[in-house]
Amino acid sequence: MAATRNPDIVRARRAFFEWGGASAEDVPGTILRSWRRCRQLGVGRERKPDIAPVEQARLRELRERHGDLVRHAHAELAPLAADCAAAGGIVVLTDAEGWILDAQGHAGFLDKAGQVALLPGACWNEARVGTNAIGTAIHEARAVIVRGGEHYADPHRILTCSAVPVFDPYGRLAGVLDITGDANVPQVHALALARRAVASIEHRYFDDGIPDSEVLHLHHDPALIGTAHEGLLAFRNGRLVAANGAGLALFGLERTDLERAGWDALFEEPLARLRDDGLLLDREGRALYGHVRGPAPASHAFPPARRSPARTSGGAAPSAAGDGPILEPGVRALLAQAQRVLDAGIPVLVQGETGTGKEVFARALHRAGERAGRPFVAVNCAALPEGLIESELFGYEEGAFTGARRQGSPGLLRRAEGGVLFLDEIGDMPLALQPRLLRVLQDRELTPLGGGRPVKLDFALVCASHRDLAAAVEAGGFRADLYYRLSHHVVRLPALREHADPAALVRALWARVAQGRTLAPAALAALAAHPWPGNLRQLDGCLRTLVALTAPGQAIGPDLLPAPLRDGAASAPALAAPAPVAAMTAQPLDALTLAAMQAAVAACDGNIARAARRLGISRSTLYRRLGSDPRRAH
């Protein structure tokens, strides 16, 4: 159906513009919020906005002022414009205020776009033209798609636009990359292509260097070092001062964490380890490969309080006592059973709420099993680029699709050869790809996209999901045949609130991070009594924050705890109305998790970033579970 005549949007526009309201069921929350902003600004909707491009001299001045953005984007615009031209669309680059610096692509559509002033020298922020992908992405500071009638101004309903913000290394918005096409032509891969181009642009910013800083090039997969997928993090005097999106994602950080996060909060080992061995362990014990550029290590060693003796070389050596994951006796028994199953070549499925340590459990399985010396490849099925998940997972041959690397890619499954493949959030894998994964697991053979000879595979498989996959099968959200292939042995990890001795767990975690600080008994009791909807991840993050905010030797009392604990709101986001544990555990895991997230967003007045920090999860996870409209939390 043509996007310009989508009945839901037609109904929503009539409700909004004629009757003063609209339903969030008919229009995405991002669009509805933008419409409301535009109405408050007095933006007209029926006539073409008066946004004639500035003269050429002013345009040259704009391009010179944003020379870094233009220079770093140059190498991406030409090939992306060729792809867009083939699909009948254009690619647009703007500055952080919405001034269009460049527009390239299909000549005919450039003329059509010119009819609504989508041209270099025009400004496309919301205040001037109403809801549009460029202006709304600037306001929301995240990727946005605006389809046909979702545009505020009637003349813009001929367009479908996909925009991704570009950030400089210091977390400042530098501009927006937008792909625009005809609203009547499906724009299937536009957002994925824009995301990939923006990742390359943000990566190129680091070519200019970060003054007086060590720049780390890191990734869990050494084959991705040197590509736009690698994480880039710059430290100055032990403080994180710059990063690209991939670098922040490695640690679940936001751009607001720049200048705040310290080395000790992220890494288990000193910087010298990365210089010497090309390897570094983070605070969760995960191996990161790469190298470092910048000042000599003599004056910038960033030594942590403790260095783990664990070593990884393509795999993980068994952890020494006291350095492995903290597992209660019941979970250790589950680990021993799962190890025997995995070593027998049978998949293991790990279920549990967000933050219960599913990946930690999987890595412990790897260390304890027969494949400990081989690779451990963790794939987050929910985090793979939208529209490109198949090529990332299964690999592709040269020329398999537009934008493919010249030499092709082996894919993530083949990188686990001989080791353990961990498919995290398997419940979020698109239904369309599940049959192919099932076929690969059945045949242990893979044919890359674009043809080529089939490749035999050898890996042990561990999957994980916070969703109840059996319920998802019944609801039609997950294939039954794939579930039965994965669920021969299911491990259910308990939530932190179900821990037999939460005080002992708090003490054990505190001993690892305290660095000479002490917990007062009242503070320990408050920490142990809190339900921790984000589970171990949230508790660990809280303890590390307490360390970061205090000095060695300091005693931490209840007055230094976060407000929900300090004020006695022990059940704050998850249990707004206290319920017995028996009643809680009788609910599905998804229902409990969603209730906790909704309550947290409500308690934070709809502020997603603050709610994510309160829950101890990433903002992207919260957006994914609740949808793009925070009002769904109410």
Superfamily name with CATH number, domain 3-206? GAF domain (3.30.450.40)
- Domain 329-492: CATH superfamily is P-loop containing nucleotide triphosphate hydrolases (3.40.50.300)
Q: What pLDDT is stored for residue 623 in this prediction? A: 61
Domain definitions of the chain by residue range? 3-206, 209-293, 329-492, 500-633
- Give CA torsion, residues 249, 615, 162, 234, to 10 deg: -30
pLDDT at 608 over 90: no
pLDDT digits (tens, 9 = 90+) for 55-103: 999 999 999 999 999 999 998 998 999 988 888 999 999 999 999 999 9
User: In this predicted model, what pLDDT tens digit does every residue of 431-466 receive, in sequence order?
Assistant: 877 887 888 888 887 766 555 677 788 889 999 999
Which residue did the predictor score with more confidence, 112 or 455?
Answer: 112
Residue whose token pair is 């599913």: 358
Q: What is the dihedral of CA 523, 529, 531, 537, to 10 degrees?
A: 40
Report the SS3 class of residue 215.
Answer: strand
Say how far apart CA 80 and CA 193 lie, in whole Å: 8
What are the φ/ψ torsions at residue 232 (nearest 5 degrees)? -115, 120
Mean pLDDT taken over the chain: 80
Q: Is residue 133 a contact partner of residue 117, using CB atoms and an 8 Å limit?
A: no
Between CA 572 and CA 611 the distance in angstroms is 11
Least confident of 133-142, 207-216, 491-500, 560-569: 560-569
Kindly report, residue by residue over 262-310, the tens digit of the pLDDT: 898 888 788 988 888 788 888 777 788 999 998 754 444 554 433 332 2
Residues 6+ apart with CB under 8 A from 279: 273, 287, 288, 289, 312, 313
Which pLDDT value is given to residue 188?
Answer: 77
- Under the banding of pLDDT at 50, 70 and 90, the label for residue 508 is confident
Mean pLDDT for 108-121 is 89
Backbone angles phi, psi at 467, to 5 degrees: -80, 155
Alpha carbons within 13 angstroms on the beta-carbon side of residue 72 total: 26
Residue 307 is predicted with a pLDDT of 36
Crossing angle for the helix pair 67-86 and 56-65, to the nearest 10 degrees: 110
Q: What local confidence, expressed as pLDDT, does residue 407 receive? A: 46
User: Which CATH number is 500-633's, of 1.10.8.60, 3.30.450.20, 1.10.287.130, 3.40.50.2300?
Assistant: 1.10.8.60
> Would you say residue 591 has pLDDT above 80?
no
Decide if 329-492 and 500-633 have a common fold. Answer: no
Q: d(Cα 297, Cα 274) in Å, to the nearest integer?
A: 10
